[in-house]
Amino acid sequence: MEKNILVVDDTLMMRKLIKRFLGQFYNVRLEENGLDAFLSMQQGYIPDLIISDIQMPKMDGFEFLEQVKSTGFLKDIPVIMLSSIDESKVRVKFLKLGVTDYLVKPFNPEELVLKVNNIFERMNQYVQN
């Protein structure tokens, strides 16, 4: 079964870049802000993994994550925060909120693919045990 990844970022080039690399292995859905992404999920799109920027219009990554983590059937979806904010206190804040990983822009696309693969591998091992 092919996995579904929701990418939330207000920069078109970043969305296209991520889709180009992850789309080789996974179904990738793109949204340009947290509000559109959350509405999409409320309407029935449930991804296996979320990759989200922090600084976005309408609903930023922090608000988006709060909404996802406060919703029963969405709270266990792994989340990778992808941001140009490279401050330890921000990373720690998001990790405390339950994100699976935090990657700083600019990033190596191969690193993102490996992180995503590792998350799905751990999920598969958990299910098998």
Domain hosting 15: range is 4-128
Contact 119, 90 (CB under 8 A): no
Q: DSSP letter at 24?
A: T
Per the structure, the count of domains in the chain is 1
pLDDT digits (tens, 9 = 90+) for 53-89: 999 999 999 999 999 999 888 999 999 999 999 999 9
Whether the pLDDT of residue 1 is over 70: the answer is no
Residue 53: the pLDDT is 97
SS3 107: coil
Instruction: Check: pTM over 0.85? Answer yes or no.
Output: yes
Residue 111: CB atoms within 10 A of its CB come to 10
Mean pLDDT, rounded, for 103-114: 94
pLDDT above 90 covers what percent of the chain? 89
Whether the pLDDT of residue 111 is over 80: the answer is yes
Contact 66, 99 (CB under 8 A): no
Whether the pLDDT of residue 33 is over 80: the answer is yes
Mean pLDDT, rounded, for 97-103: 94
Q: Say which CATH number the domain at 16 has.
A: 3.40.50.2300
